Amino acid sequence: MEMASDKTLHRLVKQASTKTDLPALAEKTLALQTADKFRFAAMLLDVGKPDLAETIGTRACQEIQLAKLFGR
């Protein structure tokens, strides 16, 4: 899987900021790699969206926990 480009993440931040088509935003976010979710969450913090950043960061942490479980 390939890392998301900065352009893609900036587009998602804009979509989150304007709250347009949130179901599509959720789908695109879930399709991101775990590292990209952390990058996206950091960008959301930069634009003053801590609640969304927390949600996305929590999901990324859950993915790491699942990877640890399946890695055993």
**How far is it, in rounded angstroms, from Cα 54 to Cα 60?**
10
Residue 54 pLDDT level (bands cut at 50, 70, 90): very high
Q: Which two tokens stand for residue 61?
A: 């942490």
Give the DSSP letter string of 9-47: HHHHHHHHHHT-SHHHHHHHHHHS-HHHHHHHHHHHHHT
- pLDDT tens for each residue of 4-52: 999 999 999 999 999 888 899 999 999 999 999 999 999 999 999 999 9
| pTM reported for the whole predicted model | 0.90
Give me the pLDDT at residue 36, please. Answer: 97
